[in-house]
Amino acid sequence: MAAVTSDPIDILRSRTSEKWAEHPEDVLPMFVAEMDYPLAEPIRRALHDAIDRGDAGYVASSNPLATAFRGFAQRRWGWDLTGARLLSTADVSMGIVEILRQVTEPGDRVVITPPVYPPFFDLVAEAGASVAAVPLVDAGAGLRLDLHALERAFAAGARAFVLCNPHNPLGHPHSRDELTELADLAAAYGVRVISDEIHAPLVHPGSTFTPYLSVSESARASGFALHSASKAWNIAGLKCALLVAEGDEPARILDRMPYEVTWRTGQFGMLASTAAYTDGDEWLDGVLSSLTSNLDLLDRLLREHLPEVSWCRPEASYLAWLDFRGRGWGNDPAEHILREAKVALSPGPGFGEPGAGFARMNIACSPGLLEGAIRRIAAVPPGTRTGEPGSQTGAGEIPARAT
């Protein structure tokens, strides 16, 4: 399988989406979760054909997306979705909000586990609920779900839990044991688990993605999952995601969603996602091969040039969660790095309180860009700031949208 290589810099600079358009030309963009690779050929073909047909209307209810996803889930993860209810919508974020609207009352507490994908804070608020943060805990081999603290939050009345599996920013696919225990706790306290699995196709060779709904009857009886081809095939702008329910009651909840929820699915997104799930495995494997060698490179570069910066190598996706606390650049190293090194990272404090002193780096780029970014950062002299109590950022005051 051939590695997928980054588009040339002139093509990247001509792109108009967030990653390459947000900053001036002297900044290396390593922030938002878009990849620098060209589109997969089956997706290009599907989109070109649709344009040639003038096929840009509304998504038909008889569309092939659910069948394509069922095939992919079975092939890739052995996940049998034969009897499952699948509903499409515009994106994963919207799916989370719509499910929360169905399963919570205004003001209910919804658990999230920082450091975590920053918009989770906003999505809970958008659904009219309030955030109950249960930070991940250091289990020696990296940050993991704190099942004891989760049980305490559930016992204290939380109504739902937005799980990130694999976890962004850590790239950790939660283990079957962790998920099984979580499902038992959720069943014991009547908590709905909404599992955001957008990064699942990007689990690296040698690691395992476990779909939350596959772990037990308890998980299926009350849980939901969200999937999308948008991260793994780099088509976030096309607007298509899937809400998944396997249990009777969650399926009924999807059935009573307002029709508008599914009507908002993008036609190009549906066509591109169908192509991705049907014919996109080879390209995806090529991307995973490039990401593996970029992670090897990052590991070497950090050891050589930034030994004070620590990290835990991700097992999924293309985001590296870097601990800059030993470098003395304060709570928001991304801000210092943008100013001094002209490299744009995602600011750690946006991921919740445990993100102070951290930044997230997107490594889905050419090895040359990655090396250039690390060299620029390493050229910035170490500082003396150890962290500024009280300046951490939480919900509603995220310094930059770090998606």
Length of the chain: 403
Instruction: Report in angstroms how near the CB of residue 242 gets to ligand PLP at its nearest.
Output: 10
Residues 8-37 touching ligand PLP, rule: CB under 6 A, are 33
> Binding ligand PLP by CB under 6 A: which of 198, 235, 238, 356?
198
Give me the half-sphere count of Cα atoms (radius 13 Å) on the Cβ side of residue 139: 13
User: Which of these segments, 91-99, 153-161, 363-371, 393-401, binds ligand PLP (CB under 6 A)?
Assistant: 91-99
How many chain residues bind ligand PLP (CB under 6 A)?
Answer: 15
Instruction: Report in angstroms how near the CB of residue 83 gets to ligand PLP at its nearest.
Output: 25
Q: Residue 63 burial (CB < 10 Å; 0-12/13-18/19+)? A: middle
Instruction: Report in angstroms how near the CB of residue 142 gets to ligand PLP at its nearest.
Output: 17
403 binds ligand PLP (CB under 6 A): yes
> Binding ligand PLP by CB under 6 A: which of 241, 306, 322, 334?
241
Q: What is the DSSP string of 9-41?
A: HHHHHH--SHHHHSS-TTSEE--SS--SSPPPH
User: Which of these segments, 224-232, 285-293, 305-313, 321-329, binds ligand PLP (CB under 6 A)?
Assistant: 224-232
197 binds ligand PLP (CB under 6 A): no
402 binds ligand PLP (CB under 6 A): no
136 binds ligand PLP (CB under 6 A): no
Spatial contact of 356 and 387, defined as CB atoms under 8 Å apart: yes
165 binds ligand PLP (CB under 6 A): no
92 binds ligand PLP (CB under 6 A): yes
Spatial contact of 59 and 259, defined as CB atoms under 8 Å apart: no
Spatial contact of 118 and 401, defined as CB atoms under 8 Å apart: yes
SS3 content of the chain, % helix, strand, coil (to 5): 45, 15, 40
Instruction: Report in angstroms how near the CB of residue 4 gets to ligand PLP at its nearest.
Output: 19
265 binds ligand PLP (CB under 6 A): no
Element (H, E) at 74: helix 65-77
The closest of 341, 311, 384 to 115, measured between CA atoms, is: 311
- Provide the token pair at 145: 């779900």
The closest of 261, 260, 265, 179 to 223, measured between CA atoms, is: 179
- The whole-angstrom separation of Cα 191 and Cα 209 is 23
236 binds ligand PLP (CB under 6 A): yes
Instruction: Report in angstroms how near the CB of residue 356 gets to ligand PLP at its nearest.
Output: 20
Classify residue 229 by its DSSP letter. Answer: S
Nearer Cβ to ligand PLP (230/267): 230
Element (H, E) at 112: strand 109-112
User: Which of these segments, 210-218, 228-236, 329-337, 381-389, binds ligand PLP (CB under 6 A)?
Assistant: 228-236
98 binds ligand PLP (CB under 6 A): no
Classify residue 307 by its DSSP letter. Answer: T
User: Which of these segments, 86-94, 303-311, 337-345, 348-356, binds ligand PLP (CB under 6 A)?
Assistant: 86-94
Helix (H) and strand (E) counts in the chain: 15, 15
- The whole-angstrom separation of Cα 294 and Cα 306 is 16
Site string for ligand PLP, 100-119 (x = CB under 6 A): -----------------x--
User: Which of these segments, 14-22, 107-115, 226-234, 335-343, binds ligand PLP (CB under 6 A)?
Assistant: 226-234
Nearer Cβ to ligand PLP (33/377): 33
- Provide the token pair at 233: 């095939």
Query: Which residues are 320's β-sheet partners?
Result: 361
47 binds ligand PLP (CB under 6 A): no
- The whole-angstrom separation of Cα 400 and Cα 335 is 10
Nearer Cβ to ligand PLP (211/330): 211
> Binding ligand PLP by CB under 6 A: which of 228, 331, 366, 392?
228
Residue type, 136: L
89 binds ligand PLP (CB under 6 A): no
Q: Which residues bind ligand PLP (CB under 6 A)?
A: 33, 91-93, 117, 164, 168, 196, 198, 228, 230-231, 236, 241, 403
